[in-house]
Structure 1
């Protein structure tokens, strides 16, 4: 995020309940709870079709320390074991090399690229779409 206004808009998006797209987010913290790393969770949760989209954000000073890998594993486990999801999706901008590497490390399969899927500020952004199925996760674990 480039400004406090962007941060405020982000918080507003996740703080307003939308029954069409339920959201479940957690703070990602150190095991002792003293260090805040970022947030992660699910949005666009659809329990009827047992699917959701995963996402998260880490503060820059915590990048490349394994925090995201551990958090993603916990979030995926919760999705499959508690929410009983069948499919977890991730949508990642192609130029976000770290997020694409993370999602690939998490055994997600790339399904394709959604061209000019979202508008970020004044530009259109493509998004890679990935998925992980419960049966695939069970084989890995």
Structure 2
């Protein structure tokens, strides 16, 4: 429990500090890139975290009214999840994603950048590489 509390405190500090985030690059692991980006944007639009805002800024604009988001849930220190047009979308850090049984490129574990993974319908679909900046 102490580790989970510590991770939650780190995540919460992003709300309370002058930190902001930028997306360095984006990697899509599926041929349905447009769908993956749209579902990611639709779910991230419900989040208020600075990392979610950075990801939204990096994605092409979508018409949010074209997508239905249900069962939105934020998991402090981990990420967010919900249903977008009936598809389960989970967006979060590697530590949280390891609790799900799915394949991803394990070389991501050894990067210095923050990595935000996107999973749609229990399938790894891509990731965002994030850097911290100060406001």
Q: TM-score, length-normalised on structure 2?
A: 0.29
Larger RCO (alpha carbons 8 Å, 6+ apart): 2
Bigger radius of gyration among the two:
1
